[in-house]
Structure 1
Amino acid sequence: MHSRRDILRYTASAGAVLPLAAACGTSERSAGDPDATLVRYQGTAGSVVFPELAADLGYLDGIELEWIGDTTSGPQDIQAVATGDTDIGGAFNGAIAKLVAAGSPITSVISYYGSDEESFNGYYVLEDSEITGARDLVGRKVAMNTLGAHHEFVVREWLAREGLGPDEIARVELTVVPPANTEQSLRAGQVHAATLGGILRETAVERGGIRPLFTDEALYGTFSYGSLVLRDEFVEEHPDATLSLVSGVARAIRWSQVTPREEVVDRFAAIVEGRGRNETSEVIRYWRSSGVAGTGGVVAQEEFAIWLEWLDRNGELPGGSVEASDLYTNEFNPFHNGTFPEGSGPDGQPVGGPTESEDA
């Protein structure tokens, strides 16, 4: 009997030799190119997702993207992939693990966000708040954009590391607040602590009057938190298209990792301003780094294993329900074995350096 990993390894090898037209099967084609596979995805208002960057850089060989709207959260994005409403989407790795454990036929193929010294999420309180430690949050509200994803896991992990027991952690009220309203809710006293990242964090800090309890970067260091997923059916039926899509996104991620920040920001802004979605590129100007830890988005097993351990420890997913190694594959990522394709650097030349393999 073949595991999901065995199937993916087989299709990855097949993808190197199958012509795209044969691999596409019954996929939709664009009117301009009968051999192009149409890949549906959700975007983010005022931002650029890596498949969009890959398309703009010309890295998506034989792939055409179709934007079907903007996602409301990571869990919603990967649920849309699982149900076949989209073909690629991304979320926090813990949310992916829970969805796979529930029977959804999806596999992570590349890391797409994380934290480092430049890009991170902070968990803030008012400057004059009496809250100075984890235990002070018991019985109080902590705002975040959604439950069951990155921020819930990170907050609960921090509380546990600070010595709180399960009963105390359960009394910390995690409250969903739209990101655009989070700072206002904190300053108005509607919540006692708030999750802030990117432009929302930077502008809030500039205005003053708040301080961080902790940051996710301080908790885990440079670490990839989330992955892009594909349906297993898509991978099996379209191995060559999968290889083109993932390798193109990997090259785009690597481009963002090695290109001067100003050039990346200008490119992102041009993409946002040129796509006609009635949005502003203001947020793009606050971009600091990709936050992706692995070279070109290579997934490290620890980026899943740590959350499986957490879910087991908290009684949400019994140990052994799924294995970390079965949740992802690096087979389609050209950076996973230390080889770097032409055109990955900012000047169109190969970029070098060590990278961690899938089995490291």
Structure 2
Amino acid sequence: MHTTSRRTFLALSGLSALAVAGCGTASGSSGVRNTSKLRYQGFAGQVTPAELAADLGHLKDLKLEWVGNTISGPQDIQSAASGQTDFGGAFNGAVVKLAARKAPIKAVVSYYGSDKHAFSGYYVTGDSPIRSARDLIGKKVGMNTLGAHAEAMLDIYLKNNGVSLAESKRVERIVLPPVNTEQSLRRGQIEVAVLGGILRDKALETGGIRKLFSDYDLRGAFSAGTYVFTERFIKQNPETVRTFVTGVGKALDWSRSTPRDEVVARLTEIVERRGRNESADALKFWQSFGVSAPGGRIDAKELTVWNDWLTDRGDIKSGQVDIDDLYTNEFNGARAAKRR
């Protein structure tokens, strides 16, 4: 199913994600207990930890059914909340925000983060006059979606460097597909491009850009996003969730303990075999999924930091979300592997 088909698929639900999630009717399982199939969205030219887990055999007889691609974490978890897919993944701030809207979701395992290899950098052209946070006022910053990881880090950078809330609103945030962001920067359509992972490394190899700051510069190594299921799906399919979470955790540990060249070869094979009319070329730049916690286990502080950010922005009220009830490590049976 190509991207257009995915949009058609999602449109057929006839209900908004938040409306369904809010009434708590979405199960994503059609009432089947311990289903052996999970519907999900992927990313073009990339391999997610869930897809890697399946290829490594860590999901056992549990099958993943790809329904299309997405470029937006918030959209992905809304699809899971509404039952259009069975699980989704997003920046932890987006998870908190969706929970604040009464979506009955629970985070079960981290799946991406930032470290010295895998981070989101904010890049300008080599000859750009932008050198500081204040230089961003009145400028355009290209990112994959609003209200998520990229915008949160931008806000933190501006605040840490003395830019007021009123001034920060004059920094224009432009939504662009990740694969087009570098090109938009080089053409002068935006002044700053948020680039991460293989797209970042590919752009750096081309040259002519420089880093203004990164999320790793701001916070060091941290897990940034989690996979979520609805509470109803978990209740109906606990062993399915256990197999999935443990498998993803094992895949993350495998990616850290296995020589990089071997990981890249495996990821490339997965893309080439699945026949989605996409290129695997960018995978040669892969370095890490950025999840440092053993087995992808979730730490409460990885959610509370974004809960505080959203509260400061006025997006949610203080105490609106019970963080302790928003996540669980109950289903994670992965044992940490040694780092490479």
Task: Give the TM-score normalised by the residue count of structure 1.
Answer: 0.83
- Aligned residue for 1:46? 45
After superposition, the C-alpha distances for 1:154-206 in whole angstroms (9 at most, x for unaligned) are: 10111001111110111111111222221222122221111112232222222
- Report the Cα distance in structure 2 between the residues aligned to 1:306 and 1:216, rounded to whole angstroms: 14
- Aligned residue for 1:356? none
Letter in 2 for 1:64: K
Deviation, structure 1 residue 209? 2.1
Letter in 2 for 1:166: L
Letter in 1 for 2:90: A
- Report the Cα distance in structure 2 between the residues aligned to 1:181 and 1:36, rounded to whole angstroms: 37
After superposition, the C-alpha distances for 1:43-72 in whole angstroms (9 at most, x for unaligned) are: 111111122111111111341211111123
- Report the Cα distance in structure 2 between the residues aligned to 1:273 and 1:254, rounded to whole angstroms: 23
- Would the aligned equivalents of 1:123 and 1:196 in 2 still touch at CA under 8 Å? yes
Q: Give the secondary-structure state (helix, strand or coil) at the position aligned to 1:112.
A: strand
Deviation, structure 1 residue 208? 2.3
- Aligned residue for 2:269? 270
Letter in 2 for 1:208: G
Gaps of 5+ in 2: 1-28
- Report the Cα distance in structure 1 between the residues aligned to 2:146 and 2:41, rounded to whole angstroms: 20
After superposition, the C-alpha distances for 1:88-145 in whole angstroms (9 at most, x for unaligned) are: 1100000010001001111100000011111111101122221110011111111111
Question: 1:123–1:352: structure 2 CA closer, same or farther, 3 Å change rule?
Answer: closer
Letter in 2 for 1:27: V
Deviation, structure 1 residue 25? 8.6
- Would the aligned equivalents of 1:61 and 1:245 in 2 still touch at CA under 8 Å? no
Q: Which has the larger radius of gyration?
A: 1
Letter in 1 for 2:218: L
Alignment of structure 1 residues 27-66 onto 2, 5 Å:
27=32, 37-66=36-65
Gaps of 5+ in 1: 1-23, 29-34, 345-350, 354-360
- Aligned residue for 1:155? 154
Q: Give the secondary-structure state (helix, strand or coil) at the position aligned to 1:214.
A: strand
Q: Please state if 1:184 is matched with 2:183.
A: yes
Alignment of structure 1 residues 1-360 onto 2, 5 Å:
26-27=31-32, 37-335=36-334, 340=335, 351=337
Deviation, structure 1 residue 318? 1.4
Q: Give the secondary-structure state (helix, strand or coil) at the position aligned to 1:113.
A: strand
- Report the Cα distance in structure 2 between the residues aligned to 1:196 and 1:26, rounded to whole angstroms: 40
Q: Give the secondary-structure state (helix, strand or coil) at the position aligned to 2:37.
A: strand
- Report the Cα distance in structure 2 between the residues aligned to 1:180 and 1:244, rounded to whole angstroms: 33
- Report the Cα distance in structure 2 between the residues aligned to 1:88 and 1:225, rounded to whole angstroms: 17
- Report the Cα distance in structure 1 between the residues aligned to 2:59 and 2:176, rounded to whole angstroms: 36
Letter in 2 for 1:315: G
- Seq. identity, %: 50
Aligned length, in residue pairs: 311
Question: 1:184–1:91: structure 2 CA closer, same or farther, 3 Å change rule?
Answer: same
After superposition, the C-alpha distances for 1:20-52 in whole angstroms (9 at most, x for unaligned) are: xxxx89439xxxxxx861111111111111221
- Would the aligned equivalents of 1:116 and 1:222 in 2 still touch at CA under 8 Å? yes
Letter in 2 for 1:155: L
